[in-house]
Chains A and B, each alone.
Chain A
Amino acid sequence: MLPPDLSYHVKFPMLLALLIWLVAAAVTGLILARRWWFPEAINAHGVSFDSHLAATFLLTGPVFIAAHAALGWVILRYRGVRTASGPVENNRLEFLWTAAAAILFVGIAAAGTGIWAGVHFDPAPKDAIRVEALGKQFAWSFRYPGRDGKFGRTDIRLINDSNGNPFGIDERDAAGRDDISTAALRVPAGRPVLLTLRSRDVIHNFFVRELRLKQDLVPGMEIPFWFQADKAGEFEVACSELCGLGHHQMRTSLIVLPAAEFEAWLRQMHEQLGLPSQPETR
């Protein structure tokens, strides 16, 4: 039995097709316009991330547009025709598009493996500056090993946030006396930085948009994570793993300083600790 209501085809013949094309056009336009977009990258990884992202857009964008173009066209072309005529089986065609999808999907992922490997498999260069990054509800702390290049011993029973000792650094350990604790992460431009990510309570996440890097901080684990920022400036660090009711306030800054300014800042910090202000030896 045929549907009683066919008048619709006469009334709104093109609405759905046009709407589908409009959606595709609007999405494409918004992406091409780049009004709301990624901030400029400040490291080599960020640059290769951006080019792989562009490649992914170039491969998936046409698929998105073609699918919507075809959908709209089929609706326009075949609405209300007298008899159905299209095929219901075509093994060669099916084999073709299965193979095409497999090659496209796996190929694009394979092309990106080098970028992932660069972040996680390549060890940090030997001359990397070491910084310990600690997350806690809802603040960040960073610790530099000081002139001796060694992090002092810590003990969770010595943790005291109000006294400026979020790490629980043990004063009795000589290696810890020159450790510098800060709330913002200062690094020199153009030098590798090796972070050791730690959390004291729940899972947090270290995310700097301009570095195109993101890594969880997991209690019970020490996760090495290195990067090299090449442009000076101040960038926001946003916790990106739900950590509780203050998650949205867990903010700090990555401050990338020209190398000389960074050295000057380190000297100043040492002076504040009451240590002689001689230049760092390594």
Chain B
Amino acid sequence: MSANAPRSFLRRWIFSTDHKVIGLQYYFLALFSALTGMVLSVLMRFHLVYPDARVRLFEWLWPAGASGGIMTPELYLSLMTMHGTIMVFFVLTAAPQSGFGNYLIPLQISAEDMAFPRLNMLSFWTTFLALMVMLAAFFVPGGAPLGGWTAYPPLSAVGEIAGPGQGLGMDLWLVSIALFSIGSLMGSINFIATLADLRAPGMGLMSMPLTCWGWFSTAMISLLAFAVLIPAGLLLLLDRNLGTSFFLPEGLVVNDRVLPYKGGSPILFQHLFWFFGHPEVYIIILPGMGMISTVLSVFSGKEVFGRKAMIYAMVAIAFVGFLVWGHHMFVSGMSPYSSMAFSLVTMAVGVPSAIKTFNWIGTIWGGRLRLEPPMLYALGFLSLFVSGGITGIFLGQPALDIYFHDTYFVVGHFHMIMGVAAVFALFAGTSYWFPLIFGRMMNPSLSRIHFYLTFIGVYMIFVPMHLTGFAGQPRRYPDFKEFEFMKDLAILHKFMTHSAFTTAAAQLIFVLNLFWSAWKGRPAPPNPWGAKTREWTP
């Protein structure tokens, strides 16, 4: 912290303009959100296997959605919507980019702070407000929305007649997403300005650490992608509240009511949403890729293999990632000819990801491996990234997606690659930079136990999920009682649910280790891992 840092508690820790404090604020906002999202997922997994169980806790939490203690389908769907939204935005977008990036960029390029410290503070508090508005959706009449994190109209556009959470809850959801987008836009401008202008003398763009390249390319994507999500959300708000028909066609009869809309297109929303939504997955994974490159290199005692190729690959992913959104829409009713184009570009965007995987293996090949906790998480990331990437080759082909679309195979795929792989990058980054941030070491034994339980656990949750996808089970079903063919899959779901319970419990080890070590951990030497980047050598 610089010499003229403000002394009052409020300016120093709450409304701080210091990049380190803001980085930590983002990190702990994401940690809180991750635990919230995880609890939601555990409740969902419970309901899928025991749909008729009476649980007093449910009734206490949601008197309307679970009267008598039995979770209604609409409550399940609202938990699912909020789980996805909170995890995608407030965890996987907030932590790798805004959390780690804010803390580390100025240190890694020897800048005093981010380019616009006040804007930085404003970004965080806008994001914080967005989270409060999002959580408020749970407490309004009707509860949280049930249309999924993708919020496709007409389901998301016609209001309460489409379900209890589709009233005020859905409006709050849209306002929250708009606020979050504004926060992300401000953040990305700040990141780009800082990395472009404030690098240490003599540090060219190509000699920036790979972590900085991850944050830089992510900021570029963020700037362009969130700029499209905001208008998409605003148009949906207008359709909902001011009677416009951007996304609503003529002749809708919902719940026996003829609706007055005219001339809009539900598919238009999908185009706008996925123009944001696909780049969003790269917003999630690129900072992690940078952090993983660093950790693998440090704990192999080697430079990153093919450094230049790693940078080009990130830039290629950032650019080509904007041309593939249609692969989410193969069965949507858009032109089947454009599906072929989107498919080819999707396969092309797999190439830089494959390059990165090869180069990571090249990095550890012939290295002097030290299997410290950050390295364990990074090696775990590699395995998960390969597993989740390969299923993408199935989904990127319209010929196969025509079966897999909206099955549990998709849920398994994206949880592997942008869910747990990205989270493993966060674990790696946390345990790696913890000594720098808190001046203490995390307990290595607890970290190892946490790593092994989580690594085994996520495979036990998500591999069976792919199998239910082979069997064609659709996602977003609150229970599987209606369908004959789903009876055979019940045992898999039971297995997944119990694996999820165990894996979720194991996360408490991480949280415990984090807080205990911050206060009581062994004091850290100045550069415990023998790293070469500037943050370790002030």
Q: Is the CB of B368 within 8 A of A240?
A: no
In the complex formed, the residue of A with least CB distance to B303 is: A88
Cβ 8 A contact of B405, one of A105, A109, A240 = A240
A218 and B400 within 8 A (CB): no
* Cross-chain contact A38 with B472 (CB below 8 angstroms): yes
B149 to A: closest C-beta gap in Å: 11
With a cutoff of 8 Å between Cβ atoms, the chain B residues found around residue A75 in the complex are: 364, 369, 371, 379
Select B471's contact among A38, A105, A113, beta carbons within 8 Å.
A38
**B444 & A105 in contact (Cβ 8 Å cutoff):** no
Encoded as 1 (CB less than 8 Å from any A CB) or 0, chain B from 330 to 374 comes to 011100110110011011101100110111011111111111100
Q: Is B306 an interface residue (CB 8 A)?
A: yes
User: Binary interface profile of A, 73-84, with partner B (CB < 8 Å = 1, else 0)?
Assistant: 011001111111
- Give Cα A214 to B409, complex, Å: 14
B117 within 8 A of A: no
Chain B residues closer than 8 Å to A112, beta-carbon distance: 397-400
Contact assessment for A79 and B369 in the assembled complex, using a CB-CB cutoff below 8 Å: yes
A28 to B448, CA, bound (A): 26
Knowing A49-B399, A242-B148 are in contact, say whether A86-B357 is a contact too (CB < 8 A): no
Q: Are the CB atoms of A19 and B455 closer together than 8 Å?
A: yes
Judge whether A240 and B73 touch: CB under 8 Å: no
Inter-chain CA distance A162–B250, complex, in Å, is 23
In the bound complex, do residue B383 and residue A68 qualify as a contact, i.e. CB atoms below 8 Å apart?
yes
- Residues from chain A with a CB closer than 8 A to the CB of B359 are 94
Determine if A36 and B383 form an interchain contact, defined as CB atoms under 8 angstroms apart.
Answer: no
Closest chain-A Cβ to B477's Cβ sits at a distance in Å of 4
Q: What string of 1s and 0s marks CB contacts (under 8 Å) between A48-81 and chain B? A: 0100110010001001100110110011001111
In angstroms, Cα B335 to Cα A223, docked, is 11
In chain A, positions 125-177 with a C-beta closer than 8 Å to chain B are 136-137, 156-157, 159, 161
Structural contact, A84 and B300, CB atoms closer than 8 A: yes
Residue A200, interface by CB 8 Å: yes
Choice from A35, A113, A242 contacting B399 with Cβ under 8 Å: A113
- What is the bound-complex CA distance between A213 and B472, given in angstroms? 11
**Minimum C-beta distance from B531 to chain A (A):** 10
Contacts of B256 in A (CB 8 A): 159, 161
Residue of A nearest to B157 (CB): A202
CB distance from A72 to the nearest CB of B (A): 9
Residues in A with CB closer than 8 Å to B361 are: 67, 70-71, 74
B257 to chain A, nearest CB (A): 10
Is B482 located at the chain interface by the 8 A CB criterion?
A: yes
Q: How far is the CA of A221 from the CA of B334 in the complex (A)?
A: 10
Min C-beta distance of A212 to chain B, whole Å: 5
Indicate whether A218 sits within 8 Å of B402 (C-beta atoms), given known contacts A64-B390, A200-B252.
no
- In the assembled complex, how far is the CB of residue B231 from the closest CB belonging to chain A, in whole angstroms? 21
Judging by beta carbons under 8 Å apart, are A215 and B331 in contact? yes
Sorting the interface of chain A by its residue count into under 10, 10 to 19, 20 to 34 or 35 or more gives 35 or more
How many angstroms between the C-alpha atoms of A165 and B75 in the bound complex?
Answer: 31
Are B474 and A56 touching (Cβ within 8 A)?
no
Q: Is there a chain A Cβ closer than 8 Å to B34's Cβ?
A: no
Nearest CB of B to A241, in Å:
6
Chain A residues whose C-beta falls within 8 Å of the C-beta of B492 in the assembled complex: 36
In the complex, the chain A residue whose C-beta lies closest to that of B297 is A88
What is the CA–CA distance of A94 and B477 in the complex, to the nearest angstrom? 44
Q: Mark A238-251, 1 if CB is under 8 A from B, else 0.
A: 11111111111101
A-B contact count (CB 8 A): 330
Q: Which of A36, A94, A238 contacts B483 (CB 8 A)?
A: A238
Residue from the list A8, A78, A101, A115 in contact with B444, Cβ < 8 A: A8
For residue B130, CB closer than 8 A to chain A, the reply is no
Interface residues of B in 490-538 (CB under 8 A from A): 492, 525-530
- Min CB distance A121 to B, Å, is 7
Q: Looking at the assembled complex, report how far the CB atom of B395 sits from the nearest CB atom of chain A, in whole angstroms.
A: 11
Chain A binder among B94-102, B106-114, B462-470: B462-470
A245 touches B74 (CB 8 A): yes
Q: Is B67 an interface residue (CB 8 A)?
A: no
Asked if B46 CB lies within 8 Å of chain A CBs, one says no
A1-B530, A37-B470, A238-B472 known; A245 and B73 CB under 8 Å? yes
Within 8 Å by CB of B370, from A6, A68, A213, A241, lies A6
Q: Within A26-47, which residues are at the interface with B (CB < 8 Å)?
A: 26-27, 30, 35-39
Report chain B residues within 8 Å CB of A1. 525-528, 530
The residue of chain B having its C-beta at the shortest distance from the C-beta of A218 within the complex is B333
Q: Decide: A94 and B355 in contact? CB cutoff 8 A.
A: yes
- CB pair B368 A220 closer than 8 Å: no
Chain B residues with Cβ below 8 Å from A36 are 464, 467-468, 470-471, 488-489, 492
Say yes or no: A101 contacts B351, CB within 8 Å.
yes
Q: B434 near A: Cβ within 8 Å?
A: no
In the complex, the chain B residue whose C-beta lies closest to that of A101 is B354
The residues of A that contact B354 with a CB separation of less than 8 Å are 97-98, 101, 105
Residues from chain A with a CB closer than 8 A to the CB of B439 are none
Q: Using a CB-CB cutoff of 8 Å, which residues 279-322 of chain B contact chain A?
A: 300-307, 309
**CB-CB nearest in chain A for B309:** A94
Does chain A have a CB within 8 A of B430? no
B85 partner residues in chain A, CB cutoff 8 A: none
Bound: A261/B476 CA distance, A: 37
- Tell me the bound Cα distance from A93 to B459 in angstroms: 31
Interface contact B74-A218, CB-CB below 8 Å: no
Inter-chain CA distance A21–B197, complex, in Å, is 46
Closest Cβ neighbor of A253 among chain B residues = B484
Question: CB-CB < 8 A to B31: which residues of A?
Answer: none
3 tightest CB-CB pairs across the interface, nearest first?
A: A86-B366, A220-B249, A112-B399
Give 5 pairs: A residue, B residue, CB < 8 Å, sorted on A: A36-B488, A38-B472, A79-B371, A109-B346, A241-B152
Residues of A within 8 A of B (CB): 1-6, 8-9, 15-16, 19-20, 23, 26-27, 30, 35-39, 49, 52-53, 56, 60, 63-64, 67-68, 70-71, 74-75, 78-90, 93-94, 97-98, 101-102, 105-106, 108-110, 112-116, 119-121, 136-137, 156-157, 159, 161, 200-203, 205, 207, 209, 212-216, 218-221, 223, 236, 238-249, 251
Question: Besides the contacts A3-B372, A89-B307, what 5 more A-B pairs have beta carbons closer than 8 Å?
Answer: A36-B468, A88-B306, A219-B251, A245-B74, A248-B73
